[in-house]
Structure 1
Amino acid sequence: MLHWLETLSPLQQALLATGFTWGITALGATTVFVTREVSPRLLDALLGLAGGVMLAASYWSLLAPALEMTQGQWLPVAIGFLLGGAFVWSADKILPHLHLKEPTEGAEGPKTRWHRSILLVLAITLHNIPEGLAVGVAFGAVAYGIPEATLGGAIALAIGIGLQNFPEGLAVAMPLRREGLSPFKSFWFGQLSATVEIPAGVLGAAFVLIAQPLLPYALSFAAGAMIFVVVEEVVPEMQQSGNTDLATLALMLGFVVMMALDVALG
């Protein structure tokens, strides 16, 4: 399989990888066709698992290679990391969105009369932009033959992002189904939130192909954006229903799974 992927261009690899991560989101959203309820304990555990995967991917697949590329010079990595967090923070302020488990009046960003379903989709879409960028940047970095950026590592990142996208698809679609939307409409909105990963991934790969010197900044930028999402949104959401211990253990499990994937494939 690796040999076949090596014959593809970085843009094709990024397109294929983000298509996979979108597909897993869509798979999570298909649960609305068999049920309209999901246990809060299960949802919190899945959110914790997703958060752990994102944390591990941020370090093992993004920050560590960026530090190796700069030969231990931490300043470029720190700048990229902080810019990634600032990007998501700015998007939070500009784009109306609603976090899971929050009432409609708790929507963040500019005031709007948009339907709750749209606000929920936009919230998960904000999560998925840095995830798509991360996958694209990882595959773009492989094109330069840099030892720290391996095809196996990029594949591990795509698999990890895909794993944590399953609960995201479920977490968007299931509340909409409970509120009375049809199974198809709930599924549609659930998978829609991940479509942004595909153009974000292709753009990320294209960017590093054009601007190789900025590669450490790009890797750390994606890491900073994902860490911001985990701390500002995923962790609070997974603890709102009182399943703190379960969610925390699931987060640690997700971290270990992603770490093992990266070491095994990278």
Structure 2
Amino acid sequence: MIDNLIAYFETLDPIVAALIAGLFTWGVTALGAASVFLFKGVNKKVLNGMLGFTGGVMIAASFWSLLAPAIEMSEGESFEKVMPAAIGFVLGALFIFGLDKLMPHLHLNFLKSEGPKSSLHRTTLLTIAIALHNIPEGLAVGVLFGGAATGQSEATIAGAILLAMGIGLQNFPEGVAVSMPLRRMGLSRRKSFQYGQMSAIVEPIFAVLGAWAVAFFIPILPYALAFAAGAMIFVVIEEVIPETQQEEHSDIPMLGFILGFVVMMVLDVALG
């Protein structure tokens, strides 16, 4: 199956390939959001475990799929070789930090809001929060597809496909994490689903932007890969992990984190 996917994506323009991959990750988010039609709610322990899994996948993908290739493809030795990755990583984290401060949004626990004061409804603020988190995921997929098209041996179509699969896998609980709380707030199942799936609409958009940027400006590739990694790790440390530690039994999300990290590492190293 993987071989067939690789062969198919190799025939595509990198921007089209990134768009398809972004639509896939968005679709998995929608699938998670659709759980609101089947269940009245989800156990908090289960949800925290799923979010922990999400964090593990994102951290593993940041290193194995993004940072390591960024360092390997950089020229020079010693400090010169690692500086593009270091600069890109810091810029990626600062990018999400800036968006975090400039855009009003609501944390998953519905207790803490950030950014400028806003009259927007809490449902909209929550959707904005998850959308902010999905920007680096879309960028990561797009940058890797764009990098594969440049002929860099460290950036491959197989790696880009596996990254999209890993991000799609962890997007399912994100869809659940948005739609289920909204349903508990009294929204209809349809509206809860709509808000849940809309939180990932940024992924195909930024996947295309990432692929376009790398395809036309090849020298930025190591910086772009590390940029996506820094943005993803910022999201995990600032938002995902803290949200799982609000309740008792914090060992459950940490076990989920370990599982997610191992799954993504095995996928990337064994199949990529």
Indicate the TM-score class for this superposition, using the shorter chain for normalisation.
over 0.9
Q: What residue in structure 1 maps to residue 128 of structure 2? A: 122
For 1:223 and 1:153, the matched residues in 2 are separated by: 15
1:23 aligns to 2:27 (yes or no): yes
Which one of the candidate residues 97, 102, 106 is aligned to 2:105? 97
TM-score (norm 2): 0.96
Letter in 2 for 1:65: P
For 1:205 and 1:265, the matched residues in 2 are separated by: 22
Runs of 4+ in 1 over 2 A off after TM superposition: none
8 Å contact kept, 1:155–1:265: no
Give the 3-state SS of the residue equivalent to 1:53 in structure 2: helix
Q: What residue in structure 2 maps to residue 3 of structure 1? A: 7
1:176 aligns to 2:182 (yes or no): yes
State the shift of 1:127 in Å: 0.4
Which one of the candidate residues 12, 17, 25 is aligned to 1:13? 17
1:74 aligns to 2:78 (yes or no): no
For 1:196 and 1:8, the matched residues in 2 are separated by: 22
Letter in 1 for 2:22: T
Count matched residues: 264
Which one of the candidate residues 178, 195, 205 is aligned to 1:189? 195
8 Å contact kept, 1:14–1:201: yes
State the shift of 1:3 in Å: 1.2
For 2:88 and 2:9, the matched residues in 1 are separated by: 29
Which one of the candidate residues 220, 224, 241 is aligned to 1:218? 224
Letter in 2 for 1:14: A
In percent, how many aligned pairs have the same letter?
60
Q: What residue in structure 2 maps to residue 64 of structure 1? A: 68
- In structure 1, list runs of 5 or more residues that go unmatched: none
Q: What residue in structure 2 maps to residue 253 of structure 1? A: 259
- CA RMSD across the alignment: 0.8
For 1:80 and 1:132, the matched residues in 2 are separated by: 16
Which one of the candidate residues 239, 259, 262 is aligned to 1:233? 239
Give the 3-state SS of the residue equivalent to 2:106 in structure 1: coil
8 Å contact kept, 1:96–1:112: yes
For 1:42 and 1:262, the matched residues in 2 are separated by: 26
TM-score (norm 1): 0.98
State the shift of 1:35 in Å: 1.7
Q: What residue in structure 1 maps to residue 158 of structure 2? A: 152
State the shift of 1:137 in Å: 0.1
- In structure 2, list runs of 5 or more residues that go unmatched: none
Give the 3-state SS of the residue equivalent to 2:93 in structure 1: helix
Q: What residue in structure 1 maps to residue 141 of structure 2? A: 135
Letter in 2 for 1:195: I
Letter in 2 for 1:153: G
8 Å contact kept, 1:62–1:223: yes
Q: What residue in structure 2 maps to residue 162 of structure 1? A: 168
For 1:237 and 1:140, the matched residues in 2 are separated by: 33
Letter in 2 for 1:101: N
